[in-house]
Amino acid sequence: MKPDEFKSSVHGRLAIQRETSGSTLDEAMVGTVTAILSSFGIDEEDRREIRADFVHLRKWRKSVEQAQCYTFKAAITVTATGFVGAVWMGFKAMLGR
């Protein structure tokens, strides 16, 4: 679906909601969201599955962020240990002369 088609679909849906007498703002929002989701090929009945998918994606993102944090900490630790080891070896070499 092209962006222009998507915009016209949403604007059309909003126009229909405005014309309908007695419809509340909540009903208009639900109708618009339903129209947007259906334009992406997502049925209204799949809400639980979509929610589960988003929960899974959030958990996966957080675990990746945590792994990146641990990797960064490990890289700093290895670098610091290497530097301290090099200083220690230089100190021992100076005392050995």
pLDDT in tens, 55-68: 999 999 999 999 99
Rounded Cα distance, 73 and 67, in Å: 10
Rounded Cα distance, 33 and 48, in Å: 15
Rounded Cα distance, 25 and 70, in Å: 47
What angle do helix axes 25-39 and 3-19 make, rounded to 10 degrees?
A: 150
Is residue 12 exposed (0-12), middle (13-18) or buried (19+ Cβ within 10 Å)? exposed
pLDDT, tens digit, 9 for 90 and up, residues 17-50: 666 655 567 777 788 888 888 888 887 777 788 8
**Token pair in block for residue 7:** 């915009």
Model's pTM, two decimal places?
0.48
